[in-house]
């Protein structure tokens, strides 16, 4: 389960980097300019804040796996809707929901890794987790920028979200063979 969580984080870091393309959406697709871009970022941040508050209020819920996959599928599903929206307020609303779900996914993944690792190995495993989460993200941004230049920003976001969804389905299938508390 631990390797599956870290692998999912790595896939999301490589293929789920949409923030680098948000200025393109604001300027070229939604035609809102700098202030519209700022509000889109604020919408995503507002959703993430609400997601963090909601997740914190659940305490030590036995539904962590549902939070993990619900967050992953909700986030990437909303990103596909966002990719093809040409209506500013619909785009902002999808970013609120995407931010909410993203927080559920990342926070549950982090908690899942830390709670499954023995104390003696926590620093090393979190180093690997941090590399998957933060270290691969610049490569994902580079890939997203290149692919958006070659194709389009909506196609790039849709492809990345689809890859994350497929990886999530594969991971979920593999994890269903293990009980909830399995390491």
Q: Which residue bears the tokens 């202030």?
A: 35
Residue 24: the pLDDT is 96
The number of CA neighbours under 13 Å toward the Cβ of 37 is 14
What is residue 40's predicted lDDT score, i.e. its pLDDT?
97
pLDDT at 137: 95
Q: Give the pLDDT confidence score for residue 75 in this predicted structure.
A: 97
pLDDT of the residue at 39: 97
Q: What residues in the chain have per-residue pLDDT under 50?
A: 183
pLDDT for the residue numbered 160: 97
Residue 95, pLDDT score: 97
How large is the angle between the packed helices 153-175 and 137-150, nearest 10 degrees? Answer: 130
- pTM of this structure: 0.89
CA gap 101, 14 in Å, rounded: 18
DSSP string covering 84-151: H---HHHHHHHHHHHHHHHHHHHHHHHHHHHHHS-GGGHHHHHHHHHIIIIISHHHHHHHHHHHHHHS
Q: What are the residues whose beta carbons fall under 8 Å from the beta carbon of 108, sequence distance 6 or more?
A: 55, 64, 67, 68, 71
Positive or negative, the CA dihedral 61, 64, 67, 71 is positive
pLDDT for 82-127, tens place per residue? 999 999 999 999 999 999 999 999 999 998 899 889 999 999 999 9
Residues with Cβ within 8 Å of residue 10, at least 6 apart in sequence: 132, 136
């Amino acid at each position: 389960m631990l390797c599956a969580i870290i692998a999912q984080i790595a896939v999301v870091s490589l293929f789920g980097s949409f923030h680098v393309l948000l200025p393109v959406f604001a300027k070229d697709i939604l035609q809102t300019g700098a202030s519209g871009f700022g509000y889109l970022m604020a919408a995503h941040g507002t959703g993430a804040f609400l997601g963090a508050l909601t997740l914190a209020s659940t305490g030590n819920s036995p539904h962590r796996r549902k939070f993990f996959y619900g967050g992953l599928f909700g986030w990437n599903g909303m990103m596909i809707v966002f990719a093809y929206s040409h209506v500013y307020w619909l785009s902002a609303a999808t970013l609120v929901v995407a931010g909410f779900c993203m927080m559920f996914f990342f926070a549950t993944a982090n908690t899942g890794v830390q709670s499954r690792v023995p104390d003696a190995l926590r620093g090393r495993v979190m180093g690997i987790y941090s590399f998957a989460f933060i270290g691969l993200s610049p490569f994902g941004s580079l890939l997203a920028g290149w692919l958006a230049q070659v194709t389009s920003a909506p196609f790039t976001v849709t492809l990345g979200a689809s890859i994350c969804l497929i990886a999530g389905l594969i991971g979920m299938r593999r994890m269903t063979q293990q009980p909830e508390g399995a390491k």
